[in-house]
Structure 1
Amino acid sequence: MAKPRTVERLVVIGGDAAGMSAASQARRLKGPDELEIVAFERGHFSSFSACGIPYWVGGQVRERAELIARTPDEHRERAIDLRMRTEVIEIDPTGGRVRSRDLESGTEAWTGYDKLVIATGARPVRPPLPGINAPGVHGVQTLDDGQALLDTLAGTDGRRAVVIGAGYIGVEMAEALLNRGFEVTVLNRGEQPMATLDPDMGWLVHQAMDGLGITTVNRAEVTEIRTGTDGRARAVATRDGLYPADVVILGMGVEPETTLARAAGLPLGEYGGLLTDLSMRVRGHDDIWAGGDCVEVLDLVSGRERHVPLGTHANKHGQIIGSNVGGGYGTFPGVVGTAVSKVCELEIARTGLREREAAAVGLQYVTAKIESTSRAGYYPKAALMTVKMIAERRTGRLLGVQIVGREGAAKRVDIAAVALTAGMTAEQMTALDLGYAPPFSPVWDPVLVAARKVAAAVRAS
């Protein structure tokens, strides 16, 4: 018979942002004599930046180690029993235990818990296409993925790369491969690149990618990855064409990794993510929390649950979970959907709702789109940007903002993110007291110019 535990035990599934933030925060609040912490990670690395992988592949980040915030040994020095290369294969909520498998030895064991944190992240979308698992086809979700891709690039004589998907991962990987000297083709199933933008703003991204020498093919439905006699990927076939490739990158987005949660009968939402309350506790389970890319969160603009896989949210979730597990208090009220990206010198940003998202939740809206510059027009290196703003008809409540431009464009979306969180109207935004000097912005910041124009559209509606 197992000896009864005298110290409460926290078990964490997942050794990256949400999981290890939760473990670290809980450890700050409770010492080893009050709380035992056991964490399981199936990969080779802990607490790493997946968002940095395209820049490591592209050469802007020189060493893999630069993407690791805290090593397994550093976590262990803080009295966190982090078990690497160990995969949890079953959750037993009724028995308060998890079953794990050591991936090196194959040994399986049960570990009991008093409190459980599920931070299993997301998995790349990988449709069952012929050839999808062939050598030379790469996802880019983990540091292991990034290293495998770099190894392929180093051993490939050909210089043709095909990226399937034109979202954040797709455009960032297109830039990385361009920097590596590859001829890059991006196959995009949608109307324009960056489906997180409205098509008219995505068209600006398409234009810029063309100008960089990246071939972007829209409305391209991939049917097969063709292989050579050696079994390696050699081309990507669509319904309308064939694109030779020496390396293929999958950039079709991610989905919540909730296989364990589903098998355990835990509540999942429309997008397959775990559902939690404001404290990040799994609904209906007092001793289980979840955070990061495996959960769905409340969209503060639409009022609906959505899946938003970003490292910023994962770290916040972990801090909140760790506080609650450790005897403190914290809540995560929701998101407004802010994200930024870049492809070479082009900056891309969005927050809030797109037009079709606003329509889908029954909102009537007006839009405005303006062109301006990042600095005073007469100041050297003033860069063009386009700002699109969406506001609710009649009330004028801000619903969303999209920005595409050069240096100084993307982070301006933070102004709109704050306004959305505060529930401001476009009219109220026009009075915001933003910083001004010619090296930083025109007298009227581009975001405020867009606010003025959409406010006028509201008054006319």
Structure 2
Amino acid sequence: MKLVVIGAVAAGLSAASKAKREKPELEIEVYTSEEHISYGACGLPYYIEEKIGSSEKLIARTKEEFKKQGIKVVTKSLVEQINPEEKTILVKDLDNDENKTVNFDSLLIATGASPIMPPLDGINLDNIFTVKNIPDADKIKKQIPNTKKVVIVGGGYIGLEMVEAFYAHGLDITVIEMAPQLMGNIDSDMAGVIAEHLKEKGVNVCSGEKVESFQGEKAVESVKTDKGTYHADMVIMAIGVSPNSQLAKNAGIKLGVKNSIKTNRKMETSVKDIYAAGDCTAAYHLLYEDDAYIPLGTTANKQGRLAGENIAGGNSHFQGIIGTGIMKVLDLEVGRTGLNTREAKQLEKDFYETVITIPNIAGYYPGHGKGKMKLIVEKGSGKVLGCQLVGPKGIAKRIDTVAACIHNENTIWDMAKLDLAYAPPFSPVWDPVLMAANVAINKFKK
């Protein structure tokens, strides 16, 4: 039996490793067009910031380590075609431009996603970058000494993490976001806290502006929007990603939400013996009760591991996601899980909100500060539907407690009964999660 994997980052190598552990006799080959494998893409902004001194620290395991495990990883090899009926793939060696055909018994597609690059005038000028892999990060790092002004297009996770990276280098930063607010997956009042913090730090935040073109001769010199023009020595495009699903589509594999590869909860595609996992796929959302495209490293690793187990003969099902995310931008931490108010309205939930000011630790302990927490609760049942947190150090990781409550369909009364840890360096005596639950209970009674 032979497993072939397309893609050698989170989902692909998680699947290969799990399949090999479950079925040691399985022959496994992994193909990737990239030079680097098994790297932590989420660490790239911190590598650019130089909090992480070497790109090697981002690499979890090398080709040699996988070889010792009995997994063959072939880099700089582009898979150009999947032939489901023949159970073969066509692979192009990018070093010598030669093609070869590879047979498989089972195939996992883990082709990931690519940054969206809209067809705007000047988009191909030099010094306009995306942040997808280590070579991207190296190009950005190389350009920083020649940069005074940087424009970041997009105010989501990657865009805001890049603010922190460039802030450490003392650059003049402008963030341009087409939507009326930063961080479109949280509510506007919570996003407003982030925008104000950035402005206080000297970052130019331009929400509700649409980029129309990039100007310059060879390299970018300015960014033109529908409201103004901004000088730029460098531009970072961070407006989102799209799934790399064309290879699957060409093979007759069904696509789903936002053109991601459609799978069942066993990670099987519409074609027998072909699986998919990671950022090229959607994931079942427990609150949507449907598929959603929310590409995150945590989901990719889980899906890959589950796919590997099933390829090796298992019968596991992906439990689903609720959109839990966390990030740091300068002195603020941000966490979110479940539904925001826009999503709750779209799903026609009958809900109410509880918004409170919260401390991160005991008020008398050094480093204490205030943040904001929003809890979204279903009116009839009291079930927790969503949560958002914005505040100083120590605030955001509390989102995991709320995520566990949502995952287990807990109510605000269940949440209020949790036995949470307390010590002054970590929490006030009433943890913010308990505070929010109790305020929500009082509001429920009214």
Q: 1:136 deviation in Å?
A: 0.3
Match of 1:247 in 2: 234
In structure 2, which of residues 377, 382, 397 is the aligned counterpart of residue 391 of structure 1?
A: 377
Match of 2:71 in 1: 80
Judge conservation of contact 1:45–1:72 (CA < 8 Å) in 2. Answer: no
Query: Is the counterpart of residue 418 in structure 1 residue 420 in structure 2?
Result: no
Match of 2:53 in 1: 62
Q: 1:183 deviation in Å?
A: 0.5
Question: Quick one: distance in 1 between partners of 2:86 and 2:439?
Answer: 59
Q: Name the TM-score, length of structure 1 as normaliser.
A: 0.95
Question: Quick one: distance in 2 between partners of 1:122 and 1:145?
Answer: 15
TM-superposition CA deviations, 1:91-132 (whole Å, max 9, x none): 111221111111111111111110000000011011111111
Judge conservation of contact 1:93–1:264 (CA < 8 Å) in 2. Answer: yes
Question: Quick one: distance in 2 between partners of 1:46 and 1:368?
Answer: 44
Q: In structure 2, the residue corresponding to 1:233 is in which secondary structure?
A: coil
Q: 1:329 deviation in Å?
A: 4.1
Judge conservation of contact 1:375–1:382 (CA < 8 Å) in 2. Answer: yes
Match of 2:298 in 1: 312
The one-letter code matched in structure 2 to 1:142 is: N
Match of 2:428 in 1: 442
Between 70-79 and 289-298, report the one with greater CA deviation.
70-79
Match of 2:180 in 1: 191
Q: 1:407 deviation in Å?
A: 0.7
Judge conservation of contact 1:394–1:459 (CA < 8 Å) in 2. Answer: no
Q: In structure 2, the residue corresponding to 1:27 is in which secondary structure?
A: helix
Q: In structure 2, the residue corresponding to 1:435 is in which secondary structure?
A: coil
Question: Quick one: distance in 1 between partners of 2:63 and 2:231?
Answer: 41
In structure 2, which of residues 15, 24, 30 is the aligned counterpart of residue 22 of structure 1?
A: 15
Query: Is the counterpart of residue 233 in structure 1 residue 213 in structure 2?
Result: no
Alignment of 1:177-188 (within 5 A): 177-188=166-177
CA-based RMSD:
1.2
In structure 2, which of residues 153, 156, 159 is the aligned counterpart of residue 170 of structure 1?
A: 159
Match of 2:341 in 1: 355
The one-letter code matched in structure 1 to 2:375 is: M
Alignment of 1:233-312 (within 5 A): 233-282=220-269, 284-312=270-298
Judge conservation of contact 2:255–2:261 (CA < 8 Å) in 1. Answer: yes
Between 159-168 and 80-89, report the one with greater CA deviation.
80-89
TM-superposition CA deviations, 1:369-399 (whole Å, max 9, x none): 0002111212222121110010112211111
Question: Quick one: distance in 1 between partners of 2:325 and 2:311?
Answer: 29
Alignment of 1:34-183 (within 5 A): 34-154=25-145, 156=146, 158-183=147-172
Judge conservation of contact 1:367–1:389 (CA < 8 Å) in 2. Answer: yes
Task: State the identity as a percent.
Answer: 37
Q: Name the TM-score, length of structure 2 as normaliser.
A: 0.98
Judge conservation of contact 1:394–1:458 (CA < 8 Å) in 2. Answer: no
Show structure 1 runs of 5+ residues with no match.
1-7
Question: Quick one: distance in 1 between partners of 2:117 and 2:442?
Answer: 45
Question: Quick one: distance in 1 between partners of 2:52 and 2:420?
Answer: 33
Q: 1:174 deviation in Å?
A: 1.0
Query: Is the counterpart of residue 222 in structure 1 residue 211 in structure 2?
Result: yes
Judge conservation of contact 1:258–1:273 (CA < 8 Å) in 2. Answer: yes
Judge conservation of contact 1:97–1:111 (CA < 8 Å) in 2. Answer: yes
Q: 1:226 deviation in Å?
A: 0.7
Count of paired positions: 446
Question: Quick one: distance in 1 between partners of 2:111 and 2:43?
Answer: 19
Judge conservation of contact 1:395–1:458 (CA < 8 Å) in 2. Answer: no
Judge conservation of contact 2:129–2:237 (CA < 8 Å) in 1. Answer: yes
Q: In structure 2, the residue corresponding to 1:439 is in which secondary structure?
A: coil
Between 416-425 and 67-76, report the one with greater CA deviation.
67-76
In structure 1, which of residues 415, 428, 436 is the aligned counterpart of residue 414 of structure 2?
A: 428
Judge conservation of contact 2:265–2:284 (CA < 8 Å) in 1. Answer: no
Show structure 2 runs of 5+ residues with no match.
none
In structure 1, which of residues 353, 373, 397 is the aligned counterpart of residue 359 of structure 2?
A: 373
Q: In structure 2, the residue corresponding to 1:348 is in which secondary structure?
A: strand
The one-letter code matched in structure 2 to 1:188 is: E
Question: Quick one: distance in 1 between partners of 2:202 and 2:296?
Answer: 29
TM-superposition CA deviations, 1:167-202 (whole Å, max 9, x none): 000000011011112100000111121111100000
Q: In structure 1, the residue corresponding to 2:398 is in which secondary structure?
A: helix
Question: Quick one: distance in 1 between partners of 2:48 and 2:343?
Answer: 33
